[in-house]
Amino acid sequence: MNWTELILELLLMPLVAFFVGLAMVLMMRKVAARLQRRVGPPLLQPLYDIIKLYGKKTQVSHGVMHDIGIIMAVGGYIAAETLLPVPGMDGIADKGGIITLAYFLMIPALGLALGVGQCANPNGSIGISRALTSMLAYDIPFIIVVFGVAFHFGTTNLADIVRIQQEGGIGGWGIVEMPLMALAGLFAMQAMLAKEPFEVYIAPPEIATGPMVEMGGKYMGGLFVMQAFQFYTMGVLYTTLFLGGGENWLSFLVKIFLVILIPVTVTVIYPRYKTDDLVRLVWKWPTAIGLVGLIFVMH
Amino acid sequence: MNNVILMFALPLLAAFLIQTLWRALGPLSRFVGPLTLLATGIIGLRAWPVVTEQPAAIAIGNFAPPLGITFYVDRLALLFALIVAFGMLALWPWGKVEDRPRTDSILLILAAAATGMALSGDLFNLYVFYELVAVATYGLIVSGGRAPAYAATFRYLIISAFGAALALIGIALVYTLTGTLNLAHLAEVAPDLLNNPMGLAAFGLFLIGFGVKAELFPVNTWVPEVYPSVPQRVAGLLAGVVSKLALIVIVRVMLLVFPFEGAHLLMLALGIAGVVFGELSAWRARDLSRTLGFSSIGQLGVMFIAFSVPGEAGLLAGLAVALHHTAVKPALFLLAERWGGSLARLKGAAGDSPLAAGLFVLLALSLIGIPPLPGFWAKLLTLVALFDQAHPLYLIGAGVILVGAVFETAYLFRIATGLYGTADAGQPGRETHDWADLLTAGALGAALLAGVVLLAPLGQQLTGIAAQTADRGLYVQTVHPTLPTFVIGQTP
Amino acid sequence: MNPMELTSPDLLLAVAALTAVVVLIAGNTRAGGWLATLGYALQFGVLSRMAGLGYGEPAIESALHFDVFGWSLFWRYTALSWFFAIITVGAAMLTALFAAGDWGRQYRRNGGSLRLLHTALALNVVAMLLLLGSGELVGMCIGWELVSWASFLLMATGGAGAVQAALKYLVYAIGGGMAMLAGMALVYSLVGSFEPDALAAAVPNLSDGQVWALVLLFGSAFGVKMALLPFHLWQARAYALTPAPGATFLGTISSRMGLFAIIMMIIAPIGLLRLETISGPLGLLSGNEILAWIAVFTIILPTFTALRQNDALMLLTWHGIGQGGYMLLGLVAGDKLGLGSAGGIMHVFNYATYQAAIFMSVFAVVYRTGTADLNKLGGLITRMPISFVAMLAGIIGLAGLPPMSGFVSKWFIYRSLLIEGEPLLFVGAVIGTLGTILSVYKLIHNMFLGQLRLEHVKVREAPPTMSIPMLVLVAVVFATGWFPGIVLDWVAAVQASIGLPVIAHHWGGIDLPAGGLDMRWVVSILLGGFAAGAIIFYGLGNRHRAVHQLDNYAGGHFLSGDVRYQYSANFYAGLMRLIGPWYRGTFQWLESGIVSGVSAASMAAQGVLRPALPGAYLLLTATLLLWVIL
């Protein structure tokens, strides 16, 4: 591969992710609206929101770390996108692999935590405490899934994982070969996206949306962008691990939107768990399912 | 060669003359004792090169063995005779005890008897010298004039007498079985006549009897009472020198007369019990002298364990441990002279006496067996010897020694860190050390450090001693040059 | 080679000894700390002259050798020794520099003895260099005990509470030392030599029981120093109470001597292949799996103990124990490509660099504020930005996240477990990492983020003597994260010198057909992502306005500085509601149970020795006589 092509890929991959992610945000709001018998926002509403947030007059910074936190949250995802292969573009999937990606996904969380920390708002700190706790919860089934998939396909290279599944046809997909893993992964994804019933750290009624409490203007805008990336990343990662990745852009987009449709639907119909209930639930069901799945994978 | 007898005779003579001399010379006569010991020491040192090449048997009054009194002088015997001379010289209680001439005389008798024990080649003479040592120590213990000492002596007396009786029964048993008490003669006939339960019983009686002085479990209950109630120089003498002589006699007898597995295991088992009980009790003791007493029970236990290993390896290890202990224990007792009473009193003592505290740490380190101090090498030799044995009891012995060292660390460094701590408010003060005590302890500490530097030559000497001692054939050959060696050449 | 010819290791030991002497003489003077730093710098210089060892050159014999009791003791420096030595001396150099200026003056004002502190530190270095150079077991035992006692001395400099902790350490350490002696004696009785090579040659002929005995004896001997479970209770408190440079030094490298010794006596001579063939109780797990599980529990339990600490230093020292588990886990993972062992060995270096940075940052805060209590700090980021950066870089490393070096070594370990198909170990290691993230966030949040206390408004950044070592460490952590090949070269040399598979690495990590790692790309892309994030943030939208640090509100009310609203106590309340009852203190209970048991036994023993027991003697005599007569 020549350098210009690679650099182009590295630029293009986050850009695609951004726009697809925005569409997913739109989908979430549409789904919620439909289930609540509303019309929902127009097509470009997510974009308008971002522009509005960036254009606001009041942009309160609580210090350098507050700014850097947002940069890390967004930048971490931008970097992570280059590790996720999409049809036609592998980026640097062979330089990092799934373990690196799993760790990359913790960087935005840590950046956000640091940024919120500097805001010195107790509600924000409580939110972070809950957010990190739920990370401790969901990363365990997630890492079981990561291990199981990597072991099953015998590689940590995501591009190879996609290739192996596609060579096997639908019967070779992760979800067919490792249904329990796929189920556990679905659970973990719900918690990773911090969607109901696992959104205790945002908790609007109690701690005034937790980490977001001091975020206004483009700080909020940054988080909005981050959310778009997060949706995209989760969708693509799940598709890559279990649904054979993208044969072409059409099937790829269908798959990732279908994947994301599950959490956004669940979100609307579920209430919220307490922190310790969340941990207990996530450590019990998806972890158990994942471990059982692992037994099948290993034998 | 024959002047080695002077090592025994000179102190005995001086002991009898000193009362008279005291009247004639007055205060000058206080130097008679030390000078005598110095003279015996020099005689011993001059004999060393000769003995290194070839041990000698001396028949007193020219009665040939097995009839006459025999002295057997090899490197081991001479080494311990030298330890008696120089050890007592170092621990000589200058102005420490009341009633000078009488005490000096007792000390000289002790020196003579102890030398006799080291050199004697005859079981009955051994017993006689042993009794003499016992009597001398009774006198020595009460010489400090402290009231608890009388009570402690009484207990010591009972146990000693009991031990002596047992030893005598043992010796009688040996005589009944073999018809001789000469060690060389016994060595020849032992494999045939003593390798049976009766022989083992005789050894058991002998072991327990002589074990009283060697602080052998279970006849060591006098130790924790006697040591805290006597002048610490005397305690050092008993723990450092006298106990080793009793031990070495037991070892010599076992080697020559009872070289059987049962005897070895019996000694091993009692040694293990000694370590267990000694170290556990020391961990709980709350004053320095008692702690040292208990720990010396444990240390003697280690020596019994080491010597119970058959062959040269066991002798080498046991000798190393014994020599090391001879240097360390008296020095620690000397430090305890002014550091008596509750351990809590010692908090912050390093501020008043930094040298003593430093010495204490050095001695404690070596006692625990921290490399590169000599104690480490002794412990290593012991463990290597023990791990080579097949019988599982030896492994238990090794384990007990190792765990014992952990206990030693705990109690010795509880004290050491207390020394370097800060004194509590209202804590009673301490006296500083007597310069003579400190000097002696310092010299022993310096000897330890010299031991580190001279480790290689020391090791060669010890190996040589062990080899010479282990050679049963050589012993018999030396005493009875006419006998063929093949009879007794190998241990069963 | 001429035995009298002095070589670099001799020079190294001589300079180290000289440093100790110099600080013993001049430790209390104004120049004491600087002289110490200079001494370590010289040692560092000598070590860099020996740098060939890190690139595959053969071992350098020392002129130091002697024969005792027919055993020959000799010293030499191999790649393994050199690797540990460079960390040791580097840590000593930076900590001495840290203490050389204002910190030392404050310490002396508060009644501490700098002479004692510097001497203890220098003695630690001498002892460790001696240990690292030892060629056979007796010399190793000498070095081992010296290290134990030198660290005891260093710990005991911290005052009355520290002495108690140090005594506890001592009992553990001597217990370990005695296990080592037993191991040595066993080796000697099995092969008739104290040399690891002789042991290695004999290992194929040893029975499984004998190998197990060796592994148990050496494992527990060296595991004590590493604070492996179940010997971990002494470490956290003992290290945390040591004065700053001492704690930093001990916390970063001292307990790694245990790992060195495990490599010397278990990994190298016995070998992973042999460990795989011996099986544990009921034949369930093989030898290396048992070690791996010990490692994983050493990761998890101390890490979650750290999570509960309210003292920054205790938190750090508990993490130190947990991180040791990763190193052992990597070493025994045992894949054929050498990934695991590379990760384990590399983690020693990485851990040392970031842990030192965090320690220094915490001690800088203690220097300025006088406390390490996580409930009495907060908001110091604006006052001590350099210390904040040091801690940030450090905790990212400690948590094992990219772009810092801690990620690389952990990646190797994970990759190895993946190849070996050990999912439970893998998950256990990740649980440790997650617990670490929670714990270090609490650390940085409660110290540097959140509300600034009014009494800390006037706090300034630590002086340059303290901030420069921190910045150096940050640079090292970052550089070795971006270009892990710097350290991997040395790691490969170490692997070669102890007979492990050597990793085929490059500057950025490793290429594997089944998924490798190239940190040059990973870090660059991450930095690129951050750059893009920065452009989006700073370049787009309206200008942001910074408000004063104390300008805050909550629940619709403005908060003034005198109202304490820092969220710090019981930081993970939700999690603790669930896992709080799981902290049973079983090991503490076990420890105090043993102490009580010994106490009771000693009472019984005294009961036997104190009374004269005439009845027992009569019985004994009667028995003996009866035996004789019958």
- Is residue C417 predicted with pLDDT exceeding 60? yes
Asked if A226 contacts A155 with a C-beta cutoff of 8 angstroms, the reply is no
The answer to whether C432 faces chain A, any CB pair under 8 Å, is: no
Res B490: pLDDT: 40
Res C547: pLDDT: 82
Res C1: pLDDT: 41
| A119-133, B57-71, C108-122, C468-482: least confident range | B57-71
Tell me which residue in A70, A140, A144 faces C537 most closely, judged by beta carbons.
A70
Share of chain C above pLDDT 70, in %: 96
Residue C43 to residue C50: CA distance in whole angstroms: 11
What is the average per-residue pLDDT within B276-290?
Answer: 90
pLDDT digits 0-9 by tens, A166-195: 998 888 888 888 999 999 998 888 888 877
Residue C509 to residue C445: CA distance in whole angstroms: 32
The answer to whether C337 faces chain A, any CB pair under 8 Å, is: no
- Is residue B182 predicted with pLDDT exceeding 90? no
Chain C residue with CA closest to A92: the answer is C521
pLDDT digits 0-9 by tens, A73-90: 999 999 999 999 999 888
Share of chain B above pLDDT 70, in %: 93
The answer to whether C590 faces chain A, any CB pair under 8 Å, is: no
What is the average per-residue pLDDT within B166-181?
Answer: 88
Res B65: pLDDT: 55
Res A245: pLDDT: 86
- Is residue C264 predicted with pLDDT exceeding 70? yes
pLDDT digits 0-9 by tens, C422-446: 889 999 999 999 999 999 999 999 9
List the chains bordering chain C where 3 or more Cβ pairs fall under 8 Å. A, B
Give the closest-approach CA distance of C403 to chain A in angstroms. Answer: 9
**What dihedral angle (degrees, nearest 10) is formed by the CA atoms of C1, C4, C9, C15?**
-160
What are phi and psi for residue B10, nearest 5 degrees?
Answer: -55, -50
Give the per-residue SS3 of C371-428.
CCECCCCCCHHHCCHHHHHHHHHHHHHHHCCCCCHHHHHHHHHHHHHHHHCCHHHHHH
Tell me whether residues B370 and C627 touch, CB distance under 8 A. Answer: no
pLDDT digits 0-9 by tens, B208-224: 889 888 888 878 888 88
Contacts of C451 in chain A (CB under 8 A): 120
What is the average per-residue pLDDT within B367-388?
Answer: 91
Instruction: Please report which confidence band the pLDDT of residue A266 belongs to, taking 50, 70 and 90 as the band edges.
Output: confident
Tell me whether residues B365 and C149 touch, CB distance under 8 A. Answer: yes
Res C344: pLDDT: 94
Tell me whether residues C544 and A67 touch, CB distance under 8 A. Answer: yes
What's the burial of C110, exposed, middle or buried (CB within 10 Å: 0-12/13-18/19+)?
exposed
- CA-nearest of C445, B298, B312, C216 to A127 is C445
Res B98: pLDDT: 59
pLDDT digits 0-9 by tens, A205-215: 555 566 777 78
List the chains bordering chain A where 3 or more Cβ pairs fall under 8 Å. C
| A36-40, A274-278, B450-454, C190-194: least confident range | A274-278
Tell me whether residues A114 and C411 touch, CB distance under 8 A. Answer: no
Give the closest-approach CA distance of C173 to chain B in angstroms. Answer: 9
Instruction: Please report which confidence band the pLDDT of residue C112 belongs to, taking 50, 70 and 90 as the band edges.
Output: confident
Asked if B452 contacts B373 with a C-beta cutoff of 8 angstroms, the reply is yes
Chain C residue with CA closest to A119: the answer is C450
pLDDT digits 0-9 by tens, A234-262: 999 999 999 988 889 999 999 999 999 99
Tell me whether residues C602 and B370 touch, CB distance under 8 A. Answer: no
pLDDT digits 0-9 by tens, A197-207: 776 666 555 55
Residue A27 to residue C550: CA distance in whole angstroms: 40
C40 vs A273, higher pLDDT: C40
Res B492: pLDDT: 37
The answer to whether C558 faces chain A, any CB pair under 8 Å, is: no
C129 CB-near residues (< 8 Å, 6+ apart): C12, C13, C16, C43, C85, C88, C89
- Is residue C141 predicted with pLDDT exceeding 60? yes
Tell me whether residues C427 and A143 touch, CB distance under 8 A. Answer: yes
**What dihedral angle (degrees, nearest 10) is formed by the CA atoms of C592, C593, C599, C602?**
-140
Tell me whether residues A120 and C379 touch, CB distance under 8 A. Answer: yes
Res C36: pLDDT: 94
pLDDT digits 0-9 by tens, C48-92: 999 999 998 899 998 888 888 888 899 999 999 999 999 999 999
pLDDT digits 0-9 by tens, A13-64: 999 999 999 999 999 999 989 888 888 899 999 999 999 999 888 888 888 9
Res B342: pLDDT: 79
| B419-428, C335-344, C542-551: least confident range | B419-428
What's the burial of B212, exposed, middle or buried (CB within 10 Å: 0-12/13-18/19+)?
buried
Contacts of B402 in chain C (CB under 8 A): 178-179, 181-182
Residue B332: how many other CB atoms lie within 10 Å:
28
Tell me whether residues C141 and B414 touch, CB distance under 8 A. Answer: no
Res B486: pLDDT: 41
Pairing of strands B56-60, B69-73: antiparallel
| Residue-by-residue DSSP string for B214-274 | TT-TTS-TTHHHHHHHS-HHHHHHIIIIIHHHHHHHHHHHHHHH--SHHHHHHHHHHHHHH
Contacts of C538 in chain A (CB under 8 A): 67
Alpha helices in chain A (DSSP H): 3-35, 45-55, 64-81, 98-104, 106-118, 122-153, 158-167, 174-177, 179-192, 204-207, 217-242, 249-269, 275-298
Give the closest-approach CA distance of C194 to chain B in angstroms. Answer: 11
What is the average per-residue pLDDT within B434-445?
Answer: 88
Residue B465 to residue B452: CA distance in whole angstroms: 19
Res B487: pLDDT: 41
Tell me whether residues B284 and C606 touch, CB distance under 8 A. Answer: yes
Asked if C412 contacts C335 with a C-beta cutoff of 8 angstroms, the reply is no
Res B96: pLDDT: 59
Share of chain A above pLDDT 70, in %: 95
Tokens for B229, please give them.
């109630």
- Is residue C360 predicted with pLDDT exceeding 90? yes
C364 vs A265, higher pLDDT: C364
Chain C residue with CA closest to B286: the answer is C606
Contacts of C617 in chain B (CB under 8 A): 159, 162, 219
Give the closest-approach CA distance of C138 to chain B in angstroms. Answer: 9
C427 CB-near residues (< 8 Å, 6+ apart): A140, A143, A144, A147
Chain A residue with CA closest to C570: the answer is A129
Instruction: Please report which confidence band the pLDDT of residue B20 belongs to, taking 50, 70 and 90 as the band edges.
Output: confident
pLDDT digits 0-9 by tens, C282-295: 777 888 889 999 99
- Is residue C149 predicted with pLDDT exceeding 60? yes
- Is residue B21 predicted with pLDDT exceeding 70? yes
List the chains bordering chain B where 3 or more Cβ pairs fall under 8 Å. C
How many contacts (CB atoms, under 8 Å) link B and C? 147
What is the average per-residue pLDDT within C301-314?
Answer: 93
pLDDT digits 0-9 by tens, C525-577: 999 999 999 999 988 888 888 888 777 776 667 777 777 888 888 888 888 88
In this prediction, does ipTM exceed 0.85?
yes
| Amino acid present at C156 | A
Tell me whether residues C149 and B405 touch, CB distance under 8 A. Answer: no
Instruction: Please report which confidence band the pLDDT of residue B192 belongs to, taking 50, 70 and 90 as the band edges.
Output: confident
Tell me whether residues B456 and C67 touch, CB distance under 8 A. Answer: yes
What is the average per-residue pLDDT within C16-36?
Answer: 92
What is the average per-residue pLDDT within C493-519?
Answer: 91
Give the closest-approach CA distance of A21 to chain C in angstroms. Answer: 16
Tell me whether residues A96 and C522 touch, CB distance under 8 A. Answer: yes
Residue C305 to residue C580: CA distance in whole angstroms: 11
